[in-house]
Structure 1
Amino acid sequence: MEGRTRTPKVIDALIPLIFLIILLIINIQVFGTDGLSGSNQIVLILSAAVAAGVSIFKLNYEWVTLREGIVKSIGSAMSSILILFLIGALAGTWLLSGVVPAMIYYGLKVLNPTIFLIAACFVSAVVSLATGSSWTTVATVGVALLGIGKALGFEEGIIAGAIISGAYFGDKMSPLSDTTNLAPAMAGTDLFTHIKYMARTTIPSILITLLIFGVIGFNYTTEGAINDVGVISDAIASRFTISGWLFLVPLAVLGMIVRKVPAIPALFFGAILGGVFALIFQPEIIATVANEGGTFAYQAFKAIMMALYGEISVVTDNDVVNELLITGGMSGMLNTIWLIVCAMAFGGIMEVTGMLRVLAEAVIQKVHTVGSMIASTAATCMFFNVTTSDQYLAILVPGRMYADVYRKRGLKPENLSRTLEDSATVTSVLVPWNTCGATQASVLGVATLAYAPYCFFNIISPFMTILFGYLKIGIRMYEEGEIKE
């Protein structure tokens, strides 16, 4: 019975985790970057089954308790799942209306290969800082920047790395970001103290990132890119009506988010507005996508519905452009949602049985210095990103666990809140089965393992906060007699 459940030991918690890691290693060797198509999902389901087996047969948990943990875990990801569906719909109508093609067309006019990676990172950072959302940034300007970069001759992994680096810098530093508000709440400090203190590690990290992208841009060989730009621009203009008025659509969405309209209604509005602008600016594209006769009203209804739910493409006489002018709509997000559901099932069992807590507590007992405390916090956050597959849990659980420990050791809460963001927020996108990693891979159409090596900001950030900890740079301690409780 549930009343006789046992507290898991470290070895109990390690069994499903080691099983997961071994299967993922095998899976990557067999399927490579195609794991999102189903094999990663099966690995997570099998790992959840192992976790359930340990919980039932060794820890005496009833299945109903594990099921409730799974349902609760998946429920916590429902907002992300709805956002994913709406991003798919938005991508479809923004292609149909010419919004994304217009972004690519004008972007090719002003960007060149030498400065492109720096510009992509900087623009993504500014938009994300203004909106507080890395997801929205990647799904809007990120998609356009990816198209521009591919047209300029860059590998898509490098482009995605620049976009994601900038987007997560802005998300991390914006007072509008949910994770930027969540981290200080868990640590016990206020928002603006958190942001001010976090800037000490975040600004050096983004400056190093921009420097790296600058060096890559100056030395990158983009074969035939300059000559191809004009051809690509002409191919886009030959199929779409390109107008500056199309930028009203993304500006409206960004404006809503800046005014703190929640992401779900803002993205829904953006998807519908894209369909309206398609009626106004792209009647020929509507007829092509509908691929049927009848009245314009009939064609418009069919084409807009297809853009919202399924795959559409616009064909030109240029193969490079054809790769840019295709989208999967809501149905294109189903593999990602499948992955998230499986990941949250595994994480739900691991959390409800206390296995994750036991592993984290084992780490806390081993730390004694300020540097090792911050390093262990960062490692715990990254561990939770891998095992729970959700950046919010990677902030929430370590935040609850370490808050008292930091106070007892004389460390002010802003030390903890900064470390949570420097490790949990930014590394979530590097894990293929994490909600963030799966989402960005799906939205950009670039496998997580393909872009992860180029997400320099996301890689540098946890090492920067650990370095500051060991060197005791910017570490805030309680003064003598100051209240710690």
Structure 2
Amino acid sequence: MKRSESPQPVTMLEALIPIAGLVFLVSLSFYLFGDGGANGPNQVALVVATMLAVFVGWRRGHSLASLGEAANASVSSGIGAILILFAVGALIGTWALSGTIVAMVYYGLKLLNPDYFYVTAAGICAVISFAIGTSWTVVGTIGIGLMGIAHSMGLSPAITAGAVISGAYFGDKSSPLSDTANLAAAAAGVDLYQHVRETLLTSLVAIVITLAVFYLLRRPGAFDASAEVAAMQSAFYISPVLFLPLILVVVLTLFRLPPFTTIFLGALAGGVVAVFVEPARVLAFAAAREGVPIPIAMLKGVWLALGSGYRSTTGNPVLDTLLTRGGMDSMLNTIWLIITALAFGGVVEKCGAIERLIAPVVNWARSGGALVGSLVLATIATNIVTADQFIAVVLPARMFRNAFAARGYAPIVLSRSVGDSATTTGALIPWNSCGAFMAVTLGVPTLSYAPYAVFCVVSPLLTVAIAYAGIRMPRVPPAQAGTSTAGGPPAPVHEDAKQN
């Protein structure tokens, strides 16, 4: 249906309608379905909220075609995340089949002290994520093993997931190899390494607070892992060779291969290791009909693990629970959630609802603390509404840069504040692509692990606190600040800055 009139700006009430509708419907979904809301009800809520946004946009003069194109463009921007989800599902399936997950748990039980497991998990993930610059790869590989170790030790899955995510986002926010660090620096017009130095200061404080919290959450007491270790030894061939798929993923990440390519090659490597190390298990899992050549039957077993995941039948309930998982099809509910959330975000952004809601906040903020606090709230709101971490970095930075320049704050304050908030808060929102990925990969609902994702919670609070305290708030003459931040489109994004 074509509209002859030019689109008009939405009113504040109209901007609130789809967002309030989404909040109400998702809250109702959680009340009625609990954690099962992610298996369909939340997606329905997002579709209904999208229709509300379409109605608002149509009423203000946007054609249905243009609103549909906005939804399509937004969903297209999430194809990279969707492909990564498929790759992670495949990786979990073949790593369970080959024994790579079992090996990670086996050696973890031998080496890690359960009294300090949460601290250790966060620390390991922080170091690795800083080295490779991506939270998703860390969670999809090391995180899976740590969740398995916690399960075998009888530790809290929610706290463990919070520790893994906290450590993973330390590097995602602070590493010069991170896509979001590149994007935040580019959006604010700041040199990448200047941005990294500045965010690393707040990140170090936040990770120290995080480790202290997990130390306090430790569960002292004796733990005997002999039964679990014996069960693994009897069911699997345990050898360091099982770490080859993990090593491959780390090496390819260091060489900056795209995340999907890296993770899917890691999944294929898991299948190859399974064929050579556990051929009998692969054949049994394939359950090929009689007369099928052994190589073809093995191919079927690996293929099944990639597509449908592995189903463990060792007879040990702990092992079977740990290993019955994975496959591309295990990610379908999450992918549906991401698609509907991105469609909603695309339509809402096309209507101008986000800008309408944020503009009064920008004009209201006068002090440095209020300005940074408003920016942090804007990034969180954008993460909630658009379900896209990258939009939450770029859009608020674009909207607030004139305000920061007019008040004489150096662009680095803008880039640091965006990095401290937009990067970390997406993992706390169930329908955001980050939150959905973390939940399905670690097997813990977003709202269950969110209170324990300490780093993600502390980082935005810390950046607001130091702004109100006047710490690390460099000033420059307004004209100079405006040179790199005022007017025009966002600065060009560094190469690879929009890879997950």
Q: Which residue of 1 aligns with 2:57?
A: 55
CA distance in 2, matches of 1:199, 1:266: 26
Query: Equivalent residue of 1:446, what SS?
Result: coil
CA distance in 1, matches of 2:416, 2:481: 21
1:386 aligns with 2:384: yes
Quote the offset at 1:98 in angstroms.
1.2
Q: 1:355 to 1:302 in 2, by over 3 A?
A: same
Contact residue 10 and residue 362 of structure 1 kept, 8 A: no
Contact residue 173 and residue 180 of structure 1 kept, 8 A: yes
CA distance in 1, matches of 2:53, 2:479: 46
Query: Equivalent residue of 1:410, what SS?
Result: coil
Q: Which residue of 2 aligns with 1:36?
A: 38
The size of the alignment, in residue pairs, is 479
Contact residue 371 and residue 470 of structure 1 kept, 8 A: yes
Contact residue 469 and residue 475 of structure 1 kept, 8 A: yes
Contact residue 27 and residue 39 of structure 1 kept, 8 A: yes
1:233 aligns with 2:235: no
Match of 2:247 among 251, 260, 263: 251
Contact residue 240 and residue 285 of structure 1 kept, 8 A: no
| Residues 117-196 of structure 1: pairs in structure 2 closer than 5 A | 117-196=118-197
| Residues 71-470 of structure 1: pairs in structure 2 closer than 5 A | 71-217=72-218, 220=219, 226-227=223-224, 229-292=225-288, 293=290, 294-470=292-468
Contact residue 339 and residue 433 of structure 1 kept, 8 A: yes
Contact residue 338 and residue 432 of structure 2 kept, 8 A: yes
CA distance in 2, matches of 1:483, 1:130: 32
Contact residue 101 and residue 144 of structure 2 kept, 8 A: yes
Quote the offset at 1:299 in angstroms.
2.1
AA at the equivalent of 2:51: A
Deviations 1:43-87 (A, max 9, x none): 00000011111111x202110010000000001101101111111
Q: Which residue of 1 aligns with 2:472?
A: 474
Contact residue 421 and residue 460 of structure 2 kept, 8 A: yes
TM-score, with length taken from structure 1: 0.96
State the percentage of identical aligned residues. Answer: 39
Contact residue 119 and residue 214 of structure 2 kept, 8 A: yes
Query: Equivalent residue of 2:217, what SS?
Result: helix
Contact residue 310 and residue 332 of structure 1 kept, 8 A: yes
CA distance in 2, matches of 1:301, 1:215: 48
CA distance in 2, matches of 1:121, 1:460: 14
Query: Equivalent residue of 1:464, what SS?
Result: helix
Quote the offset at 1:288 in angstroms.
2.1
Quote the offset at 1:404 in angstroms.
1.9
AA at the equivalent of 1:226: F
CA distance in 2, matches of 1:148, 1:72: 41
AA at the equivalent of 2:393: I
Q: 1:2 to 1:196 in 2, by over 3 A?
A: farther
CA RMSD of aligned residues (A): 1.4
Contact residue 427 and residue 459 of structure 1 kept, 8 A: yes
CA distance in 2, matches of 1:308, 1:289: 12
Deviations 1:251-310 (A, max 9, x none): 111111111111121112111111111111111210221123443213211110001100
CA distance in 1, matches of 2:12, 2:341: 21
Q: Which residue of 2 aligns with 1:4?
A: 6
Query: Equivalent residue of 2:43, what SS?
Result: helix
CA distance in 2, matches of 1:374, 1:149: 38
Quote the offset at 1:221 in angstroms.
5.8
Q: 1:384 to 1:2 in 2, by over 3 A?
A: farther
Worse-superposed segment, 333-342 or 297-306: 297-306
Contact residue 162 and residue 454 of structure 1 kept, 8 A: yes
TM-score, with length taken from structure 2: 0.94
Contact residue 94 and residue 309 of structure 2 kept, 8 A: no
CA distance in 2, matches of 1:2, 1:408: 38
CA distance in 2, matches of 1:355, 1:411: 27
Quote the offset at 1:311 in angstroms.
3.0
